[in-house]
Every structure is written in C-alpha cells, then in structure tokens.
Structure 1
C-alpha cells in the first residue's frame, strides 16, 4: 500500500479531512533500520524519535520543526506504508540533558539512556558533519513523542494512555489536575512537588531538572522521573507518576520505586494498573530485576493494582516520622 492509499483509507475510516497535511517518511538511514524501527512502532515499543535542532537552524528550516498534532505516514524499506502516527509532544534539549524516559520511548536496544547516547552520538556526529558542524553534548536535539493513530486491519483502543515528561505543552492539563486534586482533598502521590507549586512553569522546570541525567542525586540521594499520563481520546491528564531509579534510604526502607495517583474524576477505570505496568517496564531499562512499591493498608484499590502487576507482599512497615503504616510489596521484572 502506498502512503497516499493508506492516508485515504485512514481519513475515510477516522473521519479526517483528506486535505489535512501529513508527511511520509521512514525511521533510520538504512533499509535494515527502516524495517526494524517501523516494526518497533507497530509493536508499541517505539513512541519517540529525535532529530538535530542545529541542523534545522543550519538549513534555515525552523518552520519544518515537528509540531504537536502533526501527522505522518511511516514507511518501511520498500516504501510500503505501515501506519499513521500523530505527534503529541515536542521539546528541545541539549544532547547531554536528554532524559532517560525519552531514550526508553525510542524503543531501541535495551531502551537505556546509555544505549541511546551511544547510537545517537554517532548519528548526530554524521548529521552535523555533513554540514561541517561540530557535535558536542551541548548540541541541541528535538525530542518528539508520537502515538499510533492507524494500522491497517488492526483496532486501536480509544482509551489508550500516552506518557510524557512534564513540559509547558501540558501546562493547562497540569493546572487542572492540580486543582481537582486540591478540591477533592486527595494526596498528591506520584506528583513530586505539584501541590506546593501553583506556578506551573516552576513545577515543569523542577521536574525537568530532577530528571536531568547530568544532575547528581540530591542531598537525600534521590533521582528520578515524573511522568504525565494522558488519555489519547481527549488528551486529558488522568494520572501522574514518580518513577525513581536512585532511591534514598527512606525510599529503600518504605516507599519504593514508584508513586502514582489518578485524577479523582477518572478513578475506577483501570488506569492505575496500566500506569504501574508502564512504570515497571520503564524501570526495566535501568537493569532492575525487582522493584518495590508500597501502599496504605486501607487502600484496597492500590493493593489490587500492585497485585495485578504481580506484586508479592514483603512486610508491613511503620514510618515513624510520618506516623503512618505501609504495606511493602516486591515486583520481580
């Protein structure tokens, strides 16, 4: 199927204006890469890609930068159209500041930041070298996240969840989520410092800094990532997670690797189970073989979420400084 044929079929079935702009292209620079990477997209493992911002500048092509809402038809090595994707987040970072969740989103190798850096350092050196530009860890990278909109012959669930790091692209949703949590008197589990930061720009910058791989773990020893959980059908933020890959002593003893919350109006829809599953898969890219998660003994919903992800009860612990009792679970990856 050609890209025009697939686009026509997609527009017809999804009631999209056929005149909506789109690009047709393939991932990678070799036929082998194009087939391998397009297959990762179809499998759901690849939902991110990166390009050189400095190359756009050099070519005076900033108008061509990827934008939220852009459609693309993905091609394999034979120029056959395999799916339609839509960009849902774009940001620019220095190469050395690209966070581990983006590396995970690209879906390649073991999905680790180390693997991503090794592969993309060579890639960007070649790209910039063609324009006689020098590559460094300060070279700027366009990080893009996308969702699959259409695969011929396959149904895609409307309630699919998208995952993204905090950026100002989601400022309105973060603010609405925060307000609903406050109105409901909910605890901000997995939200980092959202409760104490009404300034969304401050909160986003704080989250970006916390996930920056060039930042040393803070004075408590913590290092991790905040993930926004976005419902694809209406782009509403339905949940938030903290995923820790470096734990403080307190986390090791009590709270564990993952904290999460679901928006009060969106609870009891199975989102928490899917969120924790994604967090566990992300943590596997760091090489963890087991992960620890905790919940309050009276929180039956959270307990069910943990057990549904193969959690094994370890012990009940008492956090003296918070005067709270927690149930601690282990999940083997």
Structure 2
C-alpha cells in the first residue's frame, strides 16, 4: 500500500513545529502523539484505532513517512505519564513540560479558530494518546 492509499496525518500546523515533529519521527525519537478529543469530535472524525496506518505529511504537504498506530487510548490529560511524554520526542524533561506545551497548543489561535472557541483544559480533559511505529520513511 503506497502513501496515496493512506489517510494523511499532519502534526501541529505547517512550519517549524511540524518540521521538528516530522524530523523526530524520522530519527525514531518520536514514537507517540497526542490529540485533543474535542478536535476529533468537532471534525466529525472517529478516534483512530491500533493497526491503522497514516501517511505523515511535512509542512509542504509532501509524504514524509508512513506510520502504524500500535496503541490508542482516550484518557484524561492527568493520566499521561513521564514515559509517554518522553516518547513524544520533543525533548520534554518530564510530563509537566509536556503538559504545559500541549495546553499552550490546545489553546492556540489555530485550534481556537478551528473549534470556534478556546477549549478549557483541566485535569479531566480527554486526550487521544497514540503510540506508533514507522513502517517506511
């Protein structure tokens, strides 16, 4: 199955943040990603399931890698631990740094614009925690 046959996955928004994320996937540093459940619901998208493959796009919209989800959990944000935060491959020292960065992103202008409001993020906010493996770069 080629890139063209797969649903696409875009990290963050095009630009430096996406470029760093794609680079971390390609080096193997990034093996996890997190989405806000509310974004999936607002977009009318089902939460992906383990075994699903995606074509990861770079900032120019070009295929950069194919990944396969190996674990998908919907959990309150407070349940994310240091191990998962480190697997995000963004250089977080611990889950506290991870959470601060994710809260900032989830409350960002781009996300707020998409949702039509700024989401409230508290300990019970549900996130989609996904672990993956690279199938082909």
Classify the TM-score, shorter chain.
0.7 to 0.9
1:183-332 residue pairs with structure 2 within 5 A?
Answer: none
Deviations 1:119-177 (A, max 9, x none): 001112233674434222211111000100012xxxxxxxxxxxxxxxxxxxxxxxxxx
1:30-179 residue pairs with structure 2 within 5 A?
Answer: 30-57=14-41, 59=42, 61=44, 64-126=46-108, 127=111, 130-132=115-117, 133-151=119-137
What SS is found at the alignment partner of 1:87? strand
TM-score by length of 2: 0.84
After TM superposition, where is structure 1 displaced by more than 4 Å over at least 4 residues in a row?
A: none
Q: Which protein is bigger by CA-based radius of gyration?
A: 1
Name the structure, 1 or 2, with higher relative contact order (CA <8 Å, separation 6+): 2
Partner of 1:288: none
Residue correspondences, number? 133
Q: CA, structure 1 residues 85+144, in 2 after alignment: closer, same or farther (shift >3 Å)?
A: same
Give the Cα separation in 1 of the matches to 2:40 and 2:19: 26
TM-score by length of 1: 0.37
Deviations 1:41-80 (A, max 9, x none): 01000010011113333x272x521111111111111222
What SS is found at the alignment partner of 2:26? helix
Shift of 1:84: 0.5
Q: CA, structure 1 residues 60+42, in 2 after alignment: closer, same or farther (shift >3 Å)?
A: closer
Unaligned runs of 5+ in 1: 9-20, 152-333
Q: CA, structure 1 residues 88+131, in 2 after alignment: closer, same or farther (shift >3 Å)?
A: same
Unaligned runs of 5+ in 2: none
